[in-house]
Structure 1
Amino acid sequence: MASQNSSAMPAFPVPVASGSEYRAEPVVRDFSTIEEIIKYILHTRQGLSTHDCDCAGESILGFYWQASGVDKLFEQLDARLEPKIHRSEYDYESETVYLNIMGESTLHYQVQSRLRDYIKDCIAKLLATANDARIRGFLASIHELGTADIKYESKICKQPDVSFGQAGTLPSLVCEVSKSRQYIDSSDGKIRVALIIDLQNPGMKKAWVSLLAADDSSSSWVQHSDLFHDDDLDQQPAGQVDLYLSDFVGLAPGIPAALCRPSTAEVAAGSIGNPAIVLTYERLRAIFRRARHLHSPTEFTMEGGDREENPYEDAERRVAEARNEERAEAERRVAEARIEMDRRLAEMDRRMAEMERRVAERRLDTE
């Protein structure tokens, strides 16, 4: 049920203030019934298609709703409006619902999907090459959990862009294109890491990365608003984001200490451990440049290293290589069989000749 609180709305939670990045402010409304909310969303969506913003008509609706009724609210909105709501969130402290009813931009989608695919590929490669059975077990337990709702003890109700973790638990690592530290602080540290990509929009000339990690019971910035791409720079920034095995499996027991994210104190003492995945700024730049090219191909170009292998072509290449290997193996086996057959025939000829020689000798002896 709606709350009658009419105090000032809290700002839409954002962790990084990049200065020139576009962010829509929430449109604040008072609603008494779910029907009023649905009617407003349907009316607002009609105008989004003609919006000329680079964010593809972003619109964030904010309104008060009592925590006791928020689950029922989301159930009804999901049932009746799911395709029209890109993102939903609930702030338990202010009893505020945020609904992002925009159409997702190509830029946003391409960045999150390529970041997700890169992390998944890295995990698959680690699993294929790991020699330690324990490590293979941890890697095999990591699943990509997508944008599923994250709910925890009436403290957090959010939807990340990308998430990774073990089945049946809160995701240990979440990835966002512009979002907040609330993931860690409101999950009692069960969500271990938030990887945040900020994109300048409009403009799409700059991009930043931030990494927020659980340190004891609170969160701390490992990297905060680090610029990794700027069209106006002659030389692009160097750097990397380190992701550890513990970032993906959380507080699971038995992880070797060297594969766990070091604490702030350990980093200060010079201990950095062994990161499982190194996400270089060069890789982030390639993801960003390719995403904005697909968003606006006439305005932005890609560099040579930005192009990714076509997964279908790569699959066809692997199939062709496997077939060639099978063909070569079959030819090798045929050749070996022929050699063996020739050897046996030669052995039979030798024995026949030996038998004929002995028969001839016996005939001479009898004569």
Structure 2
Amino acid sequence: MIRFLLVYLSIYPLVHYYAFRKIKKAFPLGRIATLCISLFMATMIAAPIMVRLAERAGIETGARFWAYASFSWMGLLFLFISLAAALDLITLAIQAGEKMLKRKLCQTPISPRQVLALQAILVFALYSYGLFEAGDIRLEHLEIVSPKISASTGRIRIAQISDVHLGLIIREARLKRIIARMEEARPDILVATGDLVDGQLNHLTTETSLLGAVKPRLGKFAITGNHEFYAGLQDALAFTKAAGFTMLRHQGMVIGTINFVGVDDPAVKSIGKEHAASEHELLAAMPKENFTVLLKHRPDIAPESLGLFDLQLSGHTHKGQIFPFNLLTWFFYPQRGGRVTQLNSGLLYLSRGTGTWGPPIRFLAPPEVTIIDLVPGK
């Protein structure tokens, strides 16, 4: 968390400065206007930190207000910066072309004020669509045929949710929509692959009951993501168990002819703990004749584990959540969100995530509930 805070305080103020320079270029600002804009931006930089402090102090109403305000601003700012940076690159390319060709390529220049106005209109339009997309929870279907699924057992349907981020912004209304979409498919098993929660959990009693009422016939399983540790591990575990999930913390469990192995997120190291058994040892100990599902929050592939699982279910990346942030997540995790990756042995499915983190929008990364059908066959 300290590392994240340092990165945040290193980058976010620079982003605001870039936006401030764009505004100042379009509008000559006097001393009072400069001071007001500077104070607003300083408040928005500090607000996400204050939200977490207020939340921990139990000031929920104030924390929710500032969460919506600061994270909505963050989404608007990210869209604006993306457009402005793209326009700057295009401008540089045109200027370079003009120097090479020694002639003007753009004969109808637009004033900085007009450019800023057009960008603002487009940003608000994209943000409005992003709110719609964040609520447009999709069912993604995946069918896997395997001889390890016995004909007598028949099809086993698994529903995966990931990165719901229940907290100040994702609440009862969104959770009801997630559950409704999931129950359309009537899964036999429900798995939550980390980041079910986001912050303090003492105000999520309704959400606990809603999740607790979901009772697939073969059970519900969950693993930790990084946010379970940020929220407070013991509270996160208590919430997840109260919601009816069996926590798999570096543990394996056999359900019929299916092995489920769940591993903790690497954030477990932040509380100074290591597990005695490695991922490889956990997988190696499971019955080899069974179909093995590895639940792992981050889509990291451990080479020593290849050949020991048939399907890895992961999340964490949100597919970037807001384009073009997916280019950055792709740099760290080259697997494509919402797609199956064929490994040397086995498959990996990376969920785009079911909720949102930070800005309450999604752009070109719609949320999903994943339905995986395990079918007997060759």
Q: Which structure has the highest helix share of the two?
A: 2
TM-score normalised according to structure 1 size:
0.29
- Structure having the higher Rg: 1
